[in-house]
Structures are given as structure tokens and as C-alpha cells.
Amino acid sequence: MSMNVPKLLIAGAVALTAGVATAQPLPVPIPLPTPPPDGTPPPTDGTPPPTDGTPTDAPPPVDQPPPPVDQPPPLGAPPPIESITEVPASEPPPPPIDLPELLLAPSGAMLPAGVIYSRSGVDTSGGLSSDMRFGLGDVAEFGVAVTDLIRGREASGLTPRRLAPFYTATFRMGLAEDRLFRHQPALALGFRKSFEYEADNHRARIAELHLAASGHVGTRTTVHLNGSFWDASVETGDEGAVLLHDQGLGRQFRVGGGVAVRAVEDADILIDYAWMPEFCFTCSAPNRTRLRPILSWGVRYDLASWAQLQSGVRVPDIGDANLLDAQIFGQLTLINRSIERVVDRQRRR
């Protein structure tokens, strides 16, 4: 039995995405209140209209005791909404989740325990990307991803081409905001490492260790900042590996971050600045791997509590002020909290 890991990951991504979609709860129908026979418009606050002809805004008689709470409604009165829908007493909805990444840059937020997060994207250059993560105990998360943002070129003068699919795994652990003290930002220490990419007699691997912090400023703005140490290994033919960390810390360390502003009730405006390695397979050792900045901006729209849509513009060559290679991208984020609910329910028993 042989195991093709890339195919396994793709199949897993498709299966998980389908699972997330099918696992979402169906909407609960809430019927509109039935208007009374006299044509009086029903009140908008959900209270049943009076049935004895009393104007809606008239004060109740002072000398009459209030009716008992459990008194059945008089004949002809519309039944209360609860008795029609028979919605069982349900748990309060869980609070919204702070996502572990903006558009590209990592955030300091950590997925809650048992939450499955998946993000799939496509861009105008034909790239496909996917990212799946799983929250572990509110303090860590593990994930696998395929990215289309890593590029390589044969020689320094040639146009870089996409190295895809480039598979990575991620492990992050961190602290929630305000956990240690008030105004402490959410902190995450993350490590990402790739499978070995092999094509055209080249082999390449990347790794990234990042420390990310995220904090809310006011009620609508979240600021994200991260510092990343990068490493990479590039081999061509039978020559030994050329390692980025041999070139010194100055070539490994980069600062990134971004801002998210809740512009309207269900949409955020995002700007982020991230870094990605780019390989030059025949360049000298110091130039074999270079870190390139990527500027992205766009909008994140809440389709539902379990689905978000991101779209925007990404400029992979912002370091060279090259806007011609800018890409327009779309991303779909799905969040499945089924396991979280099951675990919580089991714990309460």
C-alpha cells in the first residue's frame, strides 16, 4: 500500500469542506404573527395584539389585577409564537471566532477547542490555495495547507514562476487576549514547515517561526503585528543544500502585520503585509533564497456565522513597486463548530 500524501491532502480538503457545509444547522422557521380579524396591524415587538378592541397604545386599567401568567389565551386570540414553533430551549450561540489569519499575515488569535477552520482561495493568476486547521484545547491549533504564493526562478534575470502545489503543516500555541493581564494582546507562537517540493531537478523546503500579537483598539478595529524568522533549503541536482540560515539573521527576520476594521455590521476591511520566500535556483548562495513582501487589501464579508467570503487585491512584487503582477483573489472561509459542541455537551454531563 503506498500513500500519496498530496492526493490525500486534496481529498481531505474536499471532504472536510463538504462536511462543513452539510453540518451546518438548518434555519429555524419563525412564522409571522397572524393579524387580528379587525385588520389592526400586529405589533412589531412580538407581543400578541389585544383581542377585545382596546387600542394597542392605551394604558391598562389601573383597578384590575393583572392576569395570571399561566392563564390560557382567550378563544380567538393568536397563540403565542412559542407554542407554534415549539423551538426547544437551546444553548446560547457561541461567541464569534477571531480568525487565526488576516488575508495572509498570521494573527495572534487561536481557534477555540474543537473548531475546524478551512479557507480555500483562487486568484486571477490561476493559483489555488487551501488551509485547514483544528483547535486544540483553546491554547493550540494544528493545520495543513497548500499555498500558491511561493515562487522560483532559474536565474536572476528570468521571470519567477509559481511553485505549486507547495504543502505545509502548521502548529501554533498561544494566549487569548486579556488572559494574563488587562490589555494584553492575543499572542501566538507559530511554526510552519513545508513538505519537500521537487520539480525540474530542484528541491526546496521552507520553514517559518513567527510570534504574532493581535489587539482590539476600540470596538471596530483590530491591529495585528508579527515577527517571523524564515528558513529555507534549496538543492539543485547533486549539489548540497543551500540554507537560508547560513546567510545570517538579517536575511531571516521580517516584520509584518495588518489592520482589520469593522466597516459595517457584517463586513471588515483588511490590509495586511506579509512575506514569502522566493528561490533563484542558479544564483549564488546568498541570493538563492530571498524574502519578498506581499501587500494585500480587501474585504471580509460574513455570509453566516459559519461562512465568510474574502476578496481583494494582492501585490506579490510590492517590493519592486510592480503592480502589473497584482492579483485579484477570492477566498471562502468555513468554520465548523460541531466537535466543539459535542465536547462541551459531554463535559457538562
Written as nine digits, the cell of 302 is: 460574513
Residues from 104 through 123 that contact other proteins (CB under 8 A): 113-114
CB atoms within 10 A of CB 115: 22
Quick one: 171 or 297, whose CB is closer to other proteins? 171
DSSP code of 70? T
Output the CA torsion sign for 176, 306, 225, 207.
positive
State yes or no: residue 255 binds other proteins (CB under 8 A).
no
Residues from 301 through 340 that contact other proteins (CB under 8 A): 339
Residue 96 CB, nearest distance to other proteins (Å)?
19
Residue 253 CB, nearest distance to other proteins (Å)?
11
- Please give the Cα distance from 348 to 344 (Å, whole number): 6
State yes or no: residue 230 binds other proteins (CB under 8 A).
yes
Residue 336 CB, nearest distance to other proteins (Å)?
15
> Do strands 166-175 and 161-162 pair parallel, antiparallel, or not at all (unpaired)?
unpaired
Rounded (to 5) percent helix, strand, coil in the chain:
15, 45, 45
State yes or no: residue 209 binds other proteins (CB under 8 A).
yes
State yes or no: residue 236 binds other proteins (CB under 8 A).
no
Please select the residue that binds other proteins; options are 26, 28, 32, 180, rule is CB under 8 A.
180
State yes or no: residue 345 binds other proteins (CB under 8 A).
no
Q: What is the dihedral of CA 155, 104, 134, 90, to 10 degrees?
A: -160
Which residue carries 507562537 as its cell? 189
State yes or no: residue 171 binds other proteins (CB under 8 A).
yes
Quick one: 135 or 258, whose CB is closer to other proteins? 135
Using alpha carbons only, what angle is made at residue 268 by residues 265 and 273, rounded to the nearest 5 degrees?
A: 170
Secondary structure element (H or E) that encloses residue 72, with its range:
none
Residue 19 CB, nearest distance to other proteins (Å)?
17
Residue 118 CB, nearest distance to other proteins (Å)?
17
State yes or no: residue 75 binds other proteins (CB under 8 A).
no
Give Cβ neighbours of residue 161 (< 8 Å, ≥ 6 apart).
Answer: 151, 152, 153
DSSP letters of 161-177? EE---EEEEEEEEEE-T
- Please give the Cα distance from 223 to 308 (Å, whole number): 20
- Please give the Cα distance from 188 to 240 (Å, whole number): 34
285 in helix, strand or coil? helix
Please select the residue that binds other proteins; options are 128, 207, 299, 318, rule is CB under 8 A.
207
State yes or no: residue 173 binds other proteins (CB under 8 A).
yes
CB atoms within 10 A of CB 237: 8
Binding mask 120-159 for other proteins (x = CB under 8 A): ----------------xxxxxxx-x---------------
State yes or no: residue 174 binds other proteins (CB under 8 A).
yes
Are residues 230 and 244 in contact, defined by beta-carbon separation less than 8 angstroms?
Answer: yes
Please select the residue that binds other proteins; options are 84, 189, 269, 307, rule is CB under 8 A.
189
Quick one: 229 or 301, whose CB is closer to other proteins? 229
Residue 162 CB, nearest distance to other proteins (Å)?
19
State yes or no: residue 229 binds other proteins (CB under 8 A).
yes
Q: Which residues bind other proteins (CB under 8 A)?
A: 1-6, 113-114, 136-142, 144, 169-171, 173-175, 179-180, 187, 189, 191, 193-196, 198, 203, 205-209, 211, 227, 229-233, 243-245, 339, 343, 346-347, 349
